[in-house]
Amino acid sequence: MLQLQVIRDHKEQIITALKKRNIDALPLLENILDLDENRRSLQAKLDNTLAESNKLSKEIGMLFKSGKAQEANVLKEKTGVLKEESKTLNEALSSKAEELQALLYQIPNIPHESVPAGSSEEDNEEIFKEGEIPALVENALPHWELAKKFDIIDFELGVKIAGAGFPVYKGKGARLQRALISYFLDKNTEAGYTEMQVPHLVNEASGYGTGQLPDKEGQMYHVGADDLYLIPTAEVPVTNIFRDEILNEKDFPIRYTAYTPCFRREAGSYGAHVRGLNRLHQFDKVEIVRVEHPEKSYQALDGMVEHIKNILRELKLPYRILRLCGGDLGFTAALTFDFEVFSTAQDRWLEISSVSNFETYQANRLKLRYKDENGKSQLAHTLNGSSLALPRVLAAILENYQTEDGIEIPEVLRPYTGFDRIG
Same domain, 175 and 37: no
Which domain CATH number covers 290?
Answer: 3.30.930.10
Contacts with 242 (C-beta within 8 Å, 6 or more apart), sequence order: 254, 291, 366, 368, 380, 382
**Catalytic one among 264, 323, 365, 369?**
264
Assigned domain for 116 exists:
no
Domain boundaries, position 36: 4-104
Same domain, 300 and 366: yes
Instruction: Write out the binding residues.
Output: 233, 264-266, 287, 351-354, 384
Question: Between the CA of residue 333 and those of 125, 157, 358, 398, 417, what are the distances in Å?
Answer: 16, 37, 5, 32, 36
279 is catalytic: yes
Strands 348-359 and 335-343 come out as antiparallel
Q: Are 391 and 366 in contact (CB under 8 A)?
A: no
| Coil/strand/helix, residue 287 | strand
Assigned domain for 281 exists:
yes
Same domain, 143 and 84: no
What pLDDT shows up at residue 215? 85
Assigned domain for 317 exists:
yes
Instruction: Write out the binding residues for L-serine.
Output: 233, 264, 287, 384
What pLDDT shows up at residue 74? 80
Which domain CATH number covers 37?
Answer: 1.10.287.40
Assigned domain for 263 exists:
yes
Same domain, 387 and 260: yes
Q: What is the pLDDT of residues 141-172, one digit of tens each?
A: 999 999 999 999 999 999 999 999 999 999 99
Same domain, 151 and 75: no
Q: Which of 104, 131, 156 is the last residue of a domain?
A: 104
pTM of the model: 0.93
Beta bridge partners of 128: 321
Question: Between the CA of residue 83 and those of 43, 47, 52, 92, what are the distances in Å?
Answer: 15, 12, 10, 14
Same domain, 89 and 160: no
Amino acid at 170: K
Same domain, 295 and 204: yes
What pLDDT shows up at residue 102? 95
CA distance 341 to 322: 11
For residue 3, the tally of other CB atoms under 10 A from its CB is 14
Instruction: Write out the binding residues for ATP.
Output: 264-266, 351-354
Greatest alpha-carbon span in the chain: 107
What pLDDT shows up at residue 269? 54
Packing angle, helices 69-104 and 26-65, rounded to 10: 160
What are the 10-residue block averages of pLDDT along the chain, 423 residues in total?
A: 96 97 97 96 94 87 82 83 92 96 96 96 97 90 96 97 97 98 98 98 97 91 96 98 97 98 79 80 98 98 98 98 97 98 93 97 98 95 97 96 95 98 96
Assigned domain for 115 exists:
no
114 is catalytic: no
Assigned domain for 109 exists:
no
Q: How many domains does the chain divide into?
A: 2
**Catalytic one among 206, 354, 356, 387?**
354
**Catalytic one among 351, 408, 414, 421?**
351
Same domain, 131 and 88: no
CA distance 128 to 168: 34
CA distance 231 to 182: 21
Using a 10 angstrom Cβ sphere, with 0-12 exposed, 13-18 middle and 19 or more buried, the burial of residue 224 is exposed
What pLDDT shows up at residue 118? 94
Same domain, 100 and 215: no
Using a 10 angstrom Cβ sphere, with 0-12 exposed, 13-18 middle and 19 or more buried, the burial of residue 377 is exposed
392 is catalytic: yes
Same domain, 192 and 145: yes
264 is catalytic: yes
**Catalytic one among 255, 290, 369, 392?**
392
Assigned domain for 114 exists:
no
Same domain, 73 and 145: no
Same domain, 128 and 234: yes
Q: Which of 104, 136, 152 is the last residue of a domain?
A: 104
Assigned domain for 110 exists:
no
Q: Which of 41, 69, 104 is the last residue of a domain?
A: 104
**Catalytic one among 279, 290, 323, 369?**
279
